[in-house]
């Protein structure tokens, strides 16, 4: 009777559990629809309406579009803008059916005299000019001198305008729709004279324009016609690498996007995401809900029976304990007095025979709930397993120094990168503890942040980092993201500076990274650097000059002296960083067996090219090395620095701090170059004078270092350092 009443009392509890589970079913379905709902809403801003895939931004999440090249912003709620190759453009119209959109330079909005003068350029891997756009025919010349009589007679005075250039007010300028050498007067070519005259102007800017606007300027060559052409903008066509899947996705009722924080195409549907088209139907969804409800009901019943059995077992234990106590009390009444005792004989303590146990926490759950390890949070294995969808291969971000890295989402909403060690042996445990200890004692804006880890006694060793969404430097230079767009020179130089800053900080903290490479340099969406993967790092004591250890690291980056002598110093990182500099200059991987056998190793290839006066064969031609003197100048200086870092003898290499200072001087020289200042540059540190005093030959400079003479810039490269 007691058991029946107890079971009856559990029925409301079972019903409550079932109801609770049923409430969660719609919530989970709503979570699956979040991406679908978010990507269904187009961007609305000013005159630009109903803008959708591949664009994102404003009210659309990044997974609703393609790469950062398609991010849009809404300025003052009136102007939709996009950044293309470092310049802002107003988006006037978008035609998804033909993949065309019309843009206009934002800096030329209502003016022909912008504050800064930059040429227009586009990444031809992503965008191309539309058929009605002339990309080279409208040229604006600024800061021109008074033309000589032989030239002024051939120039139409209506094609002249005035702007303030380099502090000079009302400096004359001209606009042309044809190249100067193509201009004739009464059948006589005066191209040579015009080319010479316009070559003396301070600068020139080429702005694309529609053919009809060019024709209007030629028919009516006035400043108003030019400003109208700049306002009207020009057409671009984008290349979305989705192989027609977006159209198929929309036809199936889905919304186009990409997997969150990945580059793979995704078709977001009302039930879930698919790789191409929506695969579910209403009947399937209804069936799924029915199965979920049935499963929830069964789970509730099983839970009720389980709770009932536990309560019954506990009651029986209490009843047995009460009966034993009653029996003991009755026996004690039969004893007339206390038991006899013998002086000098102590009762035997049961603890005398207890087995010695380690001083670990009392249980695994104690360690994995709310505890810390080296000051960081300890996560449970189950939580991280759920965060990565059971370590779904589709969520793999790449391979770290000793483990695979997965994309994950924690219960508190944080997006993380979870590193899973390949194997759980003593060596891996040592590397695991080493990385945790080092990362918890270091804080730098260009070092990846460690959120926590699992217990050393967890069935797998896992490290939890902040998630850096934009891949690695290697991805952008020669990997899976290289096709998304060229990384400009100014960005590459900043990557070098921030990486050098992080490594210099490590060395000042007595830490040697030991695995410096472009795969370990992560980038956020603003291309800010986060150096990662400290699994091979070593603490470097202050009282020794090197640490002897077996060679580890990545082929192509390892210090040759370290390979020979097993001696690890901070100069080992300097050598590896020299290889990174070569990658930034060339966009080539550190090791490539498809190259000539003498060039398989990029470090050897770079040294040979520099020594043979063929640096131009090393530098990525898309950086503008041949045509832009500013880029040529700075790339040569960076190659010079890489040459010094790659010296075979470590004593000939600069320190990481000296490398950082040299890179900053190169950047500052670039700033001075943009402003037209006269600069004399020498990237050698003051320590090089010591080589001469001691009759030691300093590290050789590259043959191109003759460029380090005084020079003055007239470059049109944007000043955005």
pLDDT by residue (tens digit) across 168-189? 667 788 888 887 777 766 556 6
145 is catalytic: no
Residue 463's φ and ψ, nearest 5 degrees, are -115, 140
Q: Bridge-partner residues for 60, per DSSP?
A: 57
pLDDT score of 258 more than 50: yes
pLDDT score of 694 more than 80: no
Q: What is the pLDDT of residue 588?
A: 96
Of 384 and 459, the structure prediction assigns the larger pLDDT to: 384
Q: What is the pLDDT of residue 165?
A: 63
Q: What is the pLDDT of residue 244?
A: 72
Q: Which of 403-417, 423-437, 470-484, 492-506 has the lowest mean pLDDT?
A: 423-437
- CATH superfamily placement of domain 472-721: Transferase(Phosphotransferase) domain 1 (1.10.510.10)
Q: What is the pLDDT of residue 497?
A: 97
Q: What is the pLDDT of residue 571?
A: 93
Of 164 and 287, the structure prediction assigns the larger pLDDT to: 164
Residue from 69, 515, 533, 559 carrying the catalytic annotation: 515
Among candidates 477, 428, 432, which has minimal Cα distance to 452?
432
In whole angstroms, what is the distance from residue 656 CA to residue 508 CA?
Answer: 9
268-282, 388-402, 702-716, range with greatest mean pLDDT = 388-402
pLDDT score of 351 more than 60: no
Q: Which of 266-275, 522-531, 609-618 has the lowest mean pLDDT?
A: 266-275
pLDDT tens-place string over residues 121-154: 888 778 888 888 777 678 898 888 887 776 776 6
Give 35's pLDDT tier (boundaries 50, 70, 90).
Answer: confident
pLDDT score of 576 more than 50: yes
Cα 708 from chain centre: 34
In eight-state DSSP terms, residue 243 is T
Of 4 and 398, the structure prediction assigns the larger pLDDT to: 398
Q: What is the pLDDT of residue 426?
A: 60
Overall average pLDDT of the 527-540 stretch: 76
Among candidates 320, 324, 341, 321, which has minimal Cα distance to 332?
324
Of 463 and 321, the structure prediction assigns the larger pLDDT to: 463
The residues of the chain that CATH labels 1.10.510.10 are 472-721
Q: What is the pLDDT of residue 122?
A: 84
Q: Is the peptide bond before 678 cis (omega within 30 degrees of 0)?
A: no
Strand boundaries in 524-592, DSSP class E: 529-531, 538-539, 547-548, 567-568
Overall average pLDDT of the 22-43 stretch: 66
In whole angstroms, what is the distance from residue 574 CA to residue 507 CA?
Answer: 10
pLDDT score of 17 more than 60: no
32-36, 172-176, 541-545, range with greatest mean pLDDT = 172-176
Give CA angle at 80 (75, 84), nearest 5°: 105
Q: Which of 104-118, 248-262, 273-287, 357-371 has the lowest mean pLDDT?
A: 357-371
Architecture of the CATH domain 376-467? 2-Layer Sandwich (3.30)
Q: What share of the chain has pLDDT > 70, as a percent?
A: 67
419 in a labelled binding site = yes
pLDDT tens-place string over residues 641-690: 999 999 999 999 999 999 999 999 999 887 776 555 544 444 444 344 33
Among candidates 126, 123, 128, which has minimal Cα distance to 66?
126
pLDDT tens-place string over residues 270-313: 888 888 888 744 444 444 555 566 566 667 677 766 676 776 66
Q: What is the H or E stretch that residue 366 is in?
A: helix 364-368
Residue 654's φ and ψ, nearest 5 degrees, are -75, 165
The residues of the chain that CATH labels 3.30.200.20 are 376-467
- Measured CA to CA in angstroms, residue 31 lies from 62, 286, 483 at distances of 17, 17, 33
pLDDT score of 583 more than 70: yes
Task: Assign 3-class secondary structure to 584-638.
Answer: HHHCCCCECCCCCCCCCEHHHHHHHHHHCCCHHHCCCHHHCCCCCHHHHHHHHHH
Q: Which two tokens stand for residue 56?
A: 């994102």
């Amino acid at each position: 009777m007691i058991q029946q009443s107890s079971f009856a009392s559990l029925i409301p509890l079972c019903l409550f559990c079932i109801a609770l589970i049923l409430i969660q079913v719609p919530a989970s379905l709503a979570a699956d629809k979040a991406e679908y709902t978010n990507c269904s809403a187009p961007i609305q801003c000013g005159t630009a309406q109903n803008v959708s895939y591949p664009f994102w931004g404003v009210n659309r999440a990044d997974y609703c579009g393609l790469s950062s090249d398609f991010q849009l912003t809404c300025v003052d709620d009136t102007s939709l803008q996009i950044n293309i190759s470092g310049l802002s453009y107003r988006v006037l119209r978008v035609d998804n059916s033909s993949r065309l959109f019309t843009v206009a330079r934002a800096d030329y909005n209502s003016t022909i005299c912008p504050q800064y003068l930059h040429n227009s350029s586009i990444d031809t891997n992503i965008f191309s000019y539309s058929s009605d756009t002339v990309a080279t025919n409208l040229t604006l010349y600024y800061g021109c001198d008074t033309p000589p009589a032989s030239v002024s007679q051939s120039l139409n005075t209506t094609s002249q305008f005035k702007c303030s250039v380099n502090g000079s007010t009302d400096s004359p300028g001209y606009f042309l729709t044809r190249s100067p050498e193509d201009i004739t007067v009464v059948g006589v070519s005066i191209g040579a004279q015009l080319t010479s005259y316009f070559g003396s102007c301070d600068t020139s800017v080429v702005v694309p324009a529609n053919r009809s606007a060019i024709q209007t300027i030629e028919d009516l060559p006035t400043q108003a016609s030019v400003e109208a052409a700049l306002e009207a903008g020009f057409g671009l066509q984008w290349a979305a690498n989705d192989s027609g899947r977006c159209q198929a996705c929309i036809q199936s009722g889905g919304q186009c996007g990409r997997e969150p924080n990945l580059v793979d195409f995704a078709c977001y549907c009302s039930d879930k995401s698919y790789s191409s088209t929506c695969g579910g139907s209403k009947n399937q969804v209804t069936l799924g809900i029915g199965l979920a409800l049935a499963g929830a009901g069964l789970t509730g019943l099983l839970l009720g029976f389980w709770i009932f059995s536990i309560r019954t077992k506990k009651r029986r234990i209490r009843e047995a304990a009460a009966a034993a106590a009653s029996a003991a009390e009755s026996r004690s009444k039969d004893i007339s007095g206390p038991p006899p005792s013998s002086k000098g004989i102590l009762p035997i303590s049961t603890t005398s025979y207890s087995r010695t146990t380690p001083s670990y926490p009392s249980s695994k759950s104690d360690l994995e709930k709310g505890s810390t390890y080296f000051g960081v949070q300890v996560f449970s294995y189950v939580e991280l397993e759920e965060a990565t969808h059971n370590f779904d291969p589709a969520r793999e971000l790449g391979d770290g120094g000793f483990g695979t890295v997965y994309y994950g989402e924690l219960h508190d909403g944080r997006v993380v990168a979870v590193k899973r060690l390949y194997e759980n042996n003593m060596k891996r445990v040592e590397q695991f503890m080493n990385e945790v200890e080092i990362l918890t004692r270091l804080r730098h804006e260009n070092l990846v942040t460690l959120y926590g880890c699992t217990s050393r006694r967890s069935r797998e060793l896992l490290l939890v980092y902040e998630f850096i969404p934009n891949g690695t430097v290697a991805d952008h230079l020669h990997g899976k993201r290289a096709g998304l767009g060229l990384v400009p020179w100014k960005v590459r130089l900043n990557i070098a500076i921030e990486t050098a800053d992080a490594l210099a900080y490590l060395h000042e903290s007595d830490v040697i990274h030991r695995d410096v490479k472009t795969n370990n340099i992560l980038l956020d969406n603003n291309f800010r650097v986060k150096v990662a993967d400290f699994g091979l790092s070593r603490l470097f004591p202050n009282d020794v000059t090197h640490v002897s250890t077996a060679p580890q690291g990545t082929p192509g980056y390892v210090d040759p002296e370290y390979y020979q002598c097993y001696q690890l110093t901070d100069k080992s990182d300097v050598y590896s960083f020299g290889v990174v500099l070569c990658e930034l200059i060339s966009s080539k991987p550190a090791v490539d067996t498809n190259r000539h056998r003498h060039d398989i190793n990029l470090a050897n290839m770079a040294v040979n090219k520099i020594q043979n006066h063929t640096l131009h064969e090393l530098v990525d031609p898309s950086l503008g090395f041949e045509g832009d003197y500013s880029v040529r100048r700075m790339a040569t200086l960076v190659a010079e620095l890489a040459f010094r870092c790659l010296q075979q003898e470590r004593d000939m290499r600069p320190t990481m701090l000296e490398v950082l200072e040299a890179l900053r001087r190169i950047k500052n020289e670039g700033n001075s170059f943009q402003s037209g200042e006269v600069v004399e540059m020498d990237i050698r540190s003051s320590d090089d004078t010591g080589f001469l005093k001691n009759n030691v030959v300093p590290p050789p400079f590259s043959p191109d270092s003759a460029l380090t003479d005084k020079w003055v810039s007239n470059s049109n490269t944007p000043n955005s350092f």
